[in-house]
Structures are given as C-alpha cells and as structure tokens.
Amino acid sequence: MILILRSDATSEQVDHVVKHVESLGFAAHLSKGTHRTIVGIIGEEDEARNAPLKAIPGVADVVPVMPPYKLASRDAHPQDSIVEVGDCKIGGGHLGMIAGPCSVEEPERMDRIAESVRKSGANIFRGGAFKPRTSPYAFQGLGEDGLKILRDSGQKYGMPVVTEVTDPRNVELIVKYADMLQIGARNMQNFVLLTEVGKTNKPVLLKRGMSATVNDLLMSAEYILSQGNSQVVLCERGVKGFDNATRNLYDLASVALVKTLSHLPIMVDPSHATGRPELIPPCALAGVAVGADGVHIEVHDCPEVAKSDGPQALLPDQYHDLMEQLRGVAQAVNKKIACPQVTDSATIESNI
C-alpha cells in the first residue's frame, strides 16, 4: 500500500504519518519526489487495508498494490477451478448450459420446457420459486411447491436444477430441493445471504450486481468462499448503462478480466443483459468466444402467458438453433458442452 501525501503536507504531518503507520505494526518507507512525498507501507496489505489511512492529516491518497480478495484470487489458486453441479462440470473447458423459464410454472409446462432444452443440449435446468420482483404487486413465485415441480422436471430429464435464494431463512429449505443456489443481481451485496449460502455445501451461482465492479463481484465471492464453500460460479448479466435500447449493458470484457484475476468459473446471461430475444443468440455466442464457462438463458414455450420476464424468453426452437451455432464457436475456442448422464433424446425418453 502506498500513501501519497499532499503537496502542502508539513513535516509534522509527515512525522505523524510515519508514527501512525508504525504504530499499526508496519514499516514506512519514505520517497521524496520533486513535488510530493510518498510513503510505502511495508507489511501485509490485508491488515493495512482495514485502517482508515486516508483520514490521516496530510494524506492525499491511498493506493493499494494487492487485490483485496484472497481465496477468489488466481494468485491463490493458479489453475481454473471446476465446479460440479450434479454430474455437470463448469469451468476448465467445460461449458455449463443453464436453461429454463424465469419462474417455475405448472408441472406440465415445466416438463415440456425441460424436455426441449435438454434435447437441445442444456445441462442444468432453472426456474425461480421465490422471485425478487420490483413491484410488490407482481407474481412472487410458487414457493416450496415450485421447488418440488422444478426438481421433478429436472430429474425426469436428467438435469440438476438451480433456483434463486432471496431470504436467509429459506436457505435450509431450498437446499433440500436444489443442486445449485442462485444469488440474484439485486442480492449480490446482501452479505447476510452470502454468508448463509457460504455455510452450505451446494454450488452457488453468483450473479453480478447491476452496478458492481469486477472487484465488488470478487469480494462477494470471497464472502462465500470465506465460509468454507469453494463452489462458486460467477455470472455476468449486464450492468447499468446510459442507453436503454438494451435492458442492461452486457460487459463481456469483464468476463475476460475475471479470467485473469480469479480461478473461479464465470458464465454469461445474455437474457437479462439484453432483454431482447433477437439479441440473445449473438450475445450468447460472443460470451463463449470471450471465454465464459457457460451460458444462462431463459426459455419459455409461450412467452405471452409467462408469469415473469416473458418478453425476453427464447422459444424452444430458437434455443435449439442457438445451441447448434454455439457448438461451432465453442469448438473454435476449445470448449465443450458438458453433458451429464444422457446426450440423446432416446435416453431422455426412456427416463420419463
């Protein structure tokens, strides 16, 4: 950590800075430049970070030199982590393909959607039973009934399931039904919830908050990892931008950046990033090309009656066509779509 002193810092202030830094257990290394003095703090930056050094009189700025996350850092774990959701691997060259409707709906519809996405190549089934909705008057999800429906459809078509957790009091319940727990964008800095899912032994899909920096995202992963749960999959789903032509701003450079900073797998969610069905397929291909470890897509067989997010759902046929194209791009970047248990529709049929 480096302290840059003000150009008008007095020698008393410089002395005080040095004494204060030393009183915290660090060595201080002064370097007097032409216009300013800088102070290198020698010691573990993790400890220095918690002290409000910028508040010391005479200090103009504090420059960290190390990332504030440890367990999530690639320095701590140079090789790609592979997270297993049921039999499905994510990371290290394996693409997780999550598909399904926004909300869990009636069992027959869930079966229909599960069958179609499974045949197209999806390997994890999704659906929300507890929905975080902007409006208190909107559909809030089917609750535990939804969890059962989701699990049953997943099992019938050979896919582990992922569903969102929104309440620390529900974690225990959801763990009984789900193979993977999703933390939604609006809860990415709900540290209470992160701590609770960190105490489970389930993989966690951690979606990036709408105004979270890459550093914020990795710090939220650190919360989960620091509780002992190492199975974290990150997910870029678009951030806030100034152009409302798309629902959010799909930040693919952040995916490439995360791959350099962290060993954790990271997926993309072009459904929420764009909010427009016609943009989802090209944006899914781009996600794989940039190095993502999987793609999360909302699929519904009749969007105009969907309980939530209908306008951004792909139809089963559109999803099928996308998966055909996606295999070509995946091959070009040496990735493969992981397929748990079954790969052909015959086996799927026999499962029913």
Contacts of 318-324 spanning 24+ positions with Cβ under 8 A: 318/277, 318/280, 318/281, 319/99, 319/116, 319/117, 319/120, 319/122, 320/116, 320/119, 320/120, 321/281, 322/280, 322/281, 322/284, 322/285, 322/297, 323/97, 323/120, 323/121, 323/122
Please say which residue, 47 or 108, places its beta carbon nearer to a second copy. 47
CB atoms inside a 10 Å sphere around CB 23: 9
Per the DSSP assignment, residues forming a β-bridge with 239 are 249
- Cα→Cα distances 127→102, 154, 165, 166, Å: 5, 10, 11, 14
Please say which residue, 47 or 349, places its beta carbon nearer to a second copy. 47
Q: Which of the residues 225 through 254 are near a second copy (CB under 8 A)?
A: 226, 238-246, 249-254
Interface with a second copy, residue 87, by CB under 8 A: no
Side chain identity at 103, as an amino acid letter? Answer: S
Q: Count the site residues for a second copy by CB under 8 A.
A: 112
Q: What are phi and psi of 176, to 5 degrees?
A: -65, -30
Sole binder of a second copy in the list 79, 278, 344, 346 (CB under 8 A) = 278
The span of 25-33, 91-99, 150-158, 338-346 binding a second copy (CB under 8 A) equals: 25-33
Min dist. Cβ of residue 263 to a second copy (A): 16
Site string for a second copy, 314-343 (x = CB under 8 A): -----------x--xx-xxx----------
Sole binder of a second copy in the list 10, 199, 213, 347 (CB under 8 A) = 213
Interface with a second copy, residue 279, by CB under 8 A: yes
Min dist. Cβ of residue 224 to a second copy (A): 9
The span of 58-66, 112-120, 174-182, 335-343 binding a second copy (CB under 8 A) equals: 58-66
**Among candidate residues 182, 162, 301, the one with its CA nearest the CA of residue 235:** 182
Interface with a second copy, residue 46, by CB under 8 A: yes
From the number of C-beta atoms within 10 Å of its C-beta (0-12, 13-18, 19+), residue 200 rates as buried
Site string for a second copy, 90-109 (x = CB under 8 A): --------------------
Min dist. Cβ of residue 152 to a second copy (A): 25
Q: Do 308 and 139 contact (CB within 8 A), yes or no?
A: yes
Interface with a second copy, residue 18, by CB under 8 A: no
Residue with tokens 């220095």: 48
Interface with a second copy, residue 262, by CB under 8 A: no
The torsion angle over the Cα atoms of residues 112, 114, 118 and 122, rounded to 10 degrees, is 140
Please say which residue, 4 or 82, places its beta carbon nearer to a second copy. 4
The span of 29-37, 85-93, 175-183, 337-345 binding a second copy (CB under 8 A) equals: 29-37
Interface with a second copy, residue 80, by CB under 8 A: no
The DSSP secondary structure of 25-41, one letter per residue, reads T-EEEEEE-SS-EEEEE
